[in-house]
Each structure stands twice: as C-alpha cells, then as structure tokens.
Structure 1
Amino acid sequence: MATIKDVAAMAGVSFTTVSHVVNNTRPVSADVRAKVERAISQLHYVPSAVARSLKARATATIGLVLPNSTDPYFAELARGIEDGCARGGYCVFLCNSDDDPAKQRNYLRVLQEKRIDGLIVASAGEDAVLANSLADAREPLVIVDRNIEGLSADLVQIDHERGAYLATRHLLELGHFRIGCITGPVSTAVSAMRVHGFIRAMAERGIEIEPQAIVEGDFSGLGGQRAAAQLFDTVRPSAIFACNDMMGIGALRVAAERGIRVPQDCSIIGFDDIELTNYTYPALSTVGQSVRALGEAAAQTLIERISGAATEPSRRRVVSPRLVLRESTAVYAEPPHVRACTSRIACANTENTHYDAMQHATP
C-alpha cells in the first residue's frame, strides 16, 4: 500500500506538501497540485483516516449500539439513523448487543477507543452499570427508544404511554370490553409505560381488568404466539392489544391456527408501525410513528450536539404517536346470546362457550 512518502517521491515534492494538497491546509500552486494528484491517482494512495482524525480531532463517524439488529423495528430504526447521519456527513459503526448488557458495555468501550465523534444507544434492558459507563463518556450521546435511568443525556423516543392508550381506546370505541394485553418484558421501562397506557384507557371506561388478561411477552413474534395462546385459553378476549407489532403478528398466527377469524371474532392491534405490518393477512392495525423518522430525529439530535448547536445540558424529544388502522380491527359483533345477558359474569361464561365453538370451526 502506497504511503504519503511514496506520493511525495513520485511527485518530486516534500511529504508536507502532499499533506497540504490532501487536506487543503495551505495554498499550493496549480502545477504542484497537479503533480501530487497525478501521483496519488497512479499509486492509488488512500490517506490515513487515523492520522487525519488525530490532527483534526474528528473522525466523522458515529457509534450505534442496538439490542437486536434482526428485529424489524431496530432494523428500520438503524436505517433512519444511518440516513440522517449520512446527510450530515457521518458514517455509522453498528454494534448489535443481542439484549446482553455485558456485550453492550464491551461494544461501548471498543467504540470509544475508535475515537468516534458521537454515540447513539438503544439500551438492552435495565443496567445500572451501563448508566455509570455512559455518564463518563467523552463523546456526545443520544439515547433512543429506551430511556436509561440515572443518566443525563439527550433522549429521543415515542410517547409509549400515549400510544398504548390510543390503541386501547380504539378497541373500546369499537365496542370491545373483554380486551387482552400482551406486554413486553416487565423489567423494561418501555413495557411498563405501554401497560400503563392500556390500564388508563380501561379505567376511564370503568372496566375492571382480570389478572389473566395481561400476559407477559418478550417483544418477539414467538413471544406473541405464546402469550396469545394463553389469552385464548383463559380470558377468551374479543380484542388484543399487543405492546409491539412483532407480538401482534404472533397473535395473528395463533388466531389463524385456531380458526379464530380476525377481525370478525377477535380484533388485534400492535404498536410501532413497522413496515412488515402492511403485508400480514389481515394487515395489522397499529399505533406509532415512522420508525425511520424516529431514527432520523435521533441522528439530527446528535449532530446538533456535536456541532455545538445544542447548548442546553440535555433534551428530551418525544414523538407523538398516531393510530394506523388497517384490517385487523373491527366493531365488536356481539353474539345474540351475549347481548341478551344482564350480568357481566354471565356474559363472560356464555362468551366462553361461543369461543369454544369458534376454535373447533372450520376456518
């Protein structure tokens, strides 16, 4: 590989002159510049990014740590961050922590050793050690999606509680009252906020939530399948709010396997509005905001912090969610024998009989 000294020798100039041509740090005559550029082309010389960054004290690179890059939500988020950074002249180093706090801390150490200009982190769960590590970071920092308790940093996230409230209220307005909720891991703040939104909407309608109506999932499609199967076996809901789209997709699968028609027999709504929800059958209703736009907002926030345009200690940018209604939710079609009931308990019992009939029917 050619060095700066090789270029200087071929062009017949000093290596400092080559450096001035490459970095535009001092005026150079047109004749000398032409010789240097010709030598660079012939030798296929590539300037050392490390050497240039040491001199400029900037690398034009951003570190990005995600909990699961195979999850469609985080894949779309990463794309939005990459697009936003590219427009600002930055490249992105992507690290996947696999929801492992120890692996996440190791990636953070490696990225900081690479002298990145800034860092964007989507946290892998709750980790007090991570908060301490990031508090000592020299680079500008943006937290996206999941807040990290005990850390003062720029935060970009959707209004999780509000989104869950909107999704649940939509089901209630369709006439559903026996609604199941599939949560994310109970240890995460995101899951807690979404469950709180579900509970608030139900409480406003004066509907008491059965303990079995809230089932813990893990934000994955398989977790949604398992939780939905449990709901169908116990609560027999006429509607399900899944705290993310992948679990909603899992619930769609279980309903199809059991001959439960969506939305005629059971409405299902998710959260996040990932692109995949357009292509399920039926297409999944959801609540959220453009995931790519959320990533672009995180990138913009970080670039503003790097450039000095943001002067306050930390900022919290909360993106407002919106309902995205597709094919998986519909007005509750109350069976005649349920409509005739005068007792909520009696209705529940007759509804269970109706559900048993549906599950043994031909799809």
Structure 2
Amino acid sequence: MPGLAEIAKIAGVSVSTVSRVINRRAGVNEETRQRVLAALSDLPYSPRGLGALQRTGVIGLLLPELSNPVFPAFAEALETRAAAAGYSSLLCNTRSAGMREEEYVRMVLARGVEGMIFVSPAITNSPPGEAPAAAYYTRLVADGVRMVFINGAVPALDVADIAVDEQLAGYLATSHLIELGHTRIGFVSGPARALPSRLKRAGWAAALEENGHPAPPELVAHGPFEPEGGAAALGQLLDTVTPTAVICSSDQMAIGALREAARRGLCVPAQLSVVGFDDIPFAAHSTPALTTVAQPISEMSAAAVDELVQRLAPDSRHEPSASHTRLFRPRLVVRESSGPIPRA
C-alpha cells in the first residue's frame, strides 16, 4: 500500500502495524494507535505523502452516518453512478469510526483513493464564521486532493458543492401550511450551529414574513437530527407556544414529532400538522403518511460523481477558482400529516 513505509518510519512502528491502524483492525494498543495517527497528521495530504490520486479506479464516499435512511440512499445512488463511470467505491461511515473526520480522510487517502465525495461534511456542523473548522479542507485543496461536497459549501475553497436548496425547502414547507390556513407554525430544528438548520430557518421565516405573520424565536426548538430530537423539540414547543403546525429539519425528526403528538393525545393533522424533509422511504408508510419535502438524491448523486470524474480525468485542465455551488430544487410531497388549521 503506497505511503505505509513512510508513515511507519515516522511512527517508529512496523508497516503491518500501520496497516492495522488504517484498516481499524484489532491488535494495536491505544498508545501505538495514537502514534500512527500523529504520524499521519505530520504528512501532507498530497500524493507525494500518501500515494493518493494514483490511477487506482477507487473513490472514497464519506458519509456522517448510516442510521438515517437518507445517507444509505445517497450511498447507493453514488455507488451506482460511480460504477457506471468505471470506478469502485470505498464507503466510509465517519460517525461510527470513533475518530474525527480529518483522521478518517488521511486513512482513506492512504488506501489509495483517487478522490472523495463528502456527504454533509463536518464543516456543515460548525458555527458560521468559524474559520479553523475549514483549515484541513484548505490543506486538502492545496495538496491537490480532488473532492466534491454534497450539501456542504465551504466559502473560498475550490470545492464543488452539489446541494439541495434547503432555504427553499423551508419556504415550500411553510408556504404549504400557510395555504392551509396556519399562521402559528413552529420549526422543529436540528442543532442551531448546523448549516441545514440555519438555511431552513431562513426559508421558514421568509415565508411567514412574506405573508404578514411573525417568526419569533420562541417558535423554534432545537434537537439532534433523529426521532428523539424531534420528539423533544416538539414537546418544548407544545409546552410553550402551542403551534397548530410544525415543519421539521428532517423526516427522522418529523417521525419523532408524530410520536410525541400521539403521546400527548393530539390527532395529526386534525389538531397539529407536521411536515418533514428528505422523503425517506418510511415517510410514505408512517401513521399518518408524512407530508415532506424531497431531496432529488439520484440527480444530486449523479452530478457529484460526474463532477469528481471530470476533475480526475488525466487531461483535466481544471484550475483552482472560487468555490461553486450547484443548487437542486426540492419537491413538496403532500400526504396525510398536513391539513387545514383546526377549527376553534
């Protein structure tokens, strides 16, 4: 494997030990593992350091998790498109790896991938304006690593971002509820620092204000992007502002909101309308079936792979430039969980 001997020399261990650390195999104590990781961090990301960008026919797909059905959907669509383009895929689930995304990236490059696609990269969970969070992406670009982001724009980097228009998603969901007569519409949001949360909130507020309705902060409650987070956030709203409808940052959160509404004896949508985001497969089979805003996952995945393949082409004349984002329009999918405002 290219680069292992150099890493082993810096860490003072054998090549086989480096291989075990990179492949996350047992048999390496924590002190040795940390020495290898430290050696990795001392090397550049460039092909001179780790042997990346060789013609291996492999690209890395880095996803934050696989428990949320939207990420396996992206993985499947990305792998299908990559295979059609003649590339194999190395699938990486960074959250379950027990290490920072940066460490995982070094290991992936050490295994000889030509380029990488990040789905919801770690930078999207950084507070706005926090420059250090983008430092290692800057090094990746400077060292010539080819990569593409999905839903994760980084200003001033030469990294293509293939993204769904999340601000429009918040706007569409809220406008749908306004058309049904709702004016007190809550936002069951993901973590406040997360870019998707901030963008959807902007769309939610714009739709309300455009129609002459207030968008006060008390109508927003935050939680993790998972059912428990959605349940807790809705509970907070119901205990304070009693909205007649809510939009949610993800279908996972919306499923939690449906469960919390049922726990409190509220009938959806007769007493509370709920709208999600993503259109995961289960959304059509929840009780009631979930109204949601769908991401065009197949189209976005195809665009991301095509962009990376173009940058990997031997005759590519790609030159560094300002980052660019290609926005895809989300689609409102109306099902049973949204309905007219409850009668007094």
Aligned amino acid, residue 134 of structure 1: L
Tell me the distance in 2 between the aligned counterparts of 1:292 and 1:137.
30
Q: Does 1:207 align with 2:213?
A: yes
Tell me the distance in 2 between the aligned counterparts of 1:71 and 1:95.
15
Given that residues 263 and 327 in structure 1 are in contact (C-alpha distance below 8 angstroms), is that contact kept between their aligned partners in structure 2? yes
Tell me the distance in 1 between the aligned counterparts of 2:333 and 2:106.
40
1:161-172 → structure 2 map (5 Å cutoff): 161-172=167-178
- Number of residue equivalences: 281
Q: What residue is the counterpart of 1:330 in the other structure? A: 339
Distance change >3 Å, CA 243–CA 179, structure 1 → 2: same
Partner secondary structure for residue 278 of structure 2: coil
Tell me the distance in 2 between the aligned counterparts of 1:154 and 1:99.
26
Aligned amino acid, residue 330 of structure 2: P
Tell me the distance in 1 between the aligned counterparts of 2:326 and 2:283.
25
Tell me the distance in 2 between the aligned counterparts of 1:99 and 1:247.
20
Q: 2:190 aligns with which of 184, 198, 223?
A: 184
Tell me the distance in 2 between the aligned counterparts of 1:57 and 1:184.
39
Q: What residue is the counterpart of 1:316 in the other structure? A: 325
Given that residues 221 and 249 in structure 1 are in contact (C-alpha distance below 8 angstroms), is that contact kept between their aligned partners in structure 2? yes
Q: What residue is the counterpart of 2:283 in the other structure? A: 277
Q: 2:292 aligns with which of 280, 286, 304?
A: 286
Aligned amino acid, residue 166 of structure 1: L
Tell me the distance in 2 between the aligned counterparts of 1:175 and 1:102.
47
Distance change >3 Å, CA 300–CA 281, structure 1 → 2: same
Aligned amino acid, residue 240 of structure 2: T
Given that residues 153 and 325 in structure 2 are in contact (C-alpha distance below 8 angstroms), is that contact kept between their aligned partners in structure 1? no
Q: What residue is the counterpart of 1:196 in the other structure? A: 202
Q: CA deviation at 1:68?
A: 1.3
Q: CA deviation at 1:136?
A: 2.9
Gaps of 5+ in 1: 1-53, 336-363
1:83-232 → structure 2 map (5 Å cutoff): 83-98=80-95, 103-122=100-119, 123-124=121-122, 125-126=125-126, 127-232=133-238
1:334-349 → structure 2 map (5 Å cutoff): 334-335=343-344
Gaps of 5+ in 2: 1-50, 127-132
Q: What TM-score results when the alignment is normalised by the length of structure 2?
A: 0.77
Q: What residue is the counterpart of 1:81 in the other structure? A: 78
Identity %: 35
Stretch deviating more after TM superposition (223-232 or 69-78): 69-78
Q: CA deviation at 1:113?
A: 1.7
Q: What residue is the counterpart of 1:61 in the other structure? A: 58
Q: What residue is the counterpart of 2:273 in the other structure? A: 267
Q: What residue is the counterpart of 1:354 in the other structure? A: none
Partner secondary structure for residue 94 of structure 1: strand
Aligned amino acid, residue 304 of structure 1: Q
Given that residues 272 and 289 in structure 1 are in contact (C-alpha distance below 8 angstroms), is that contact kept between their aligned partners in structure 2? yes
Tell me the distance in 1 between the aligned counterparts of 2:317 and 2:188.
39
Given that residues 196 and 249 in structure 2 are in contact (C-alpha distance below 8 angstroms), is that contact kept between their aligned partners in structure 1? no
Q: What TM-score results when the alignment is normalised by the length of structure 1?
A: 0.73
Q: CA deviation at 1:102?
A: 5.5
Q: What residue is the counterpart of 2:47 in the other structure? A: none
Q: CA deviation at 1:137?
A: 4.1
Q: CA deviation at 1:77?
A: 1.0
Q: CA deviation at 1:100?
A: 8.9
Distance change >3 Å, CA 318–CA 208, structure 1 → 2: same
Q: CA deviation at 1:310?
A: 7.7
Partner secondary structure for residue 248 of structure 1: helix
Q: What residue is the counterpart of 2:26 in the other structure? A: none
Q: CA deviation at 1:131?
A: 2.5
Aligned amino acid, residue 128 of structure 1: A
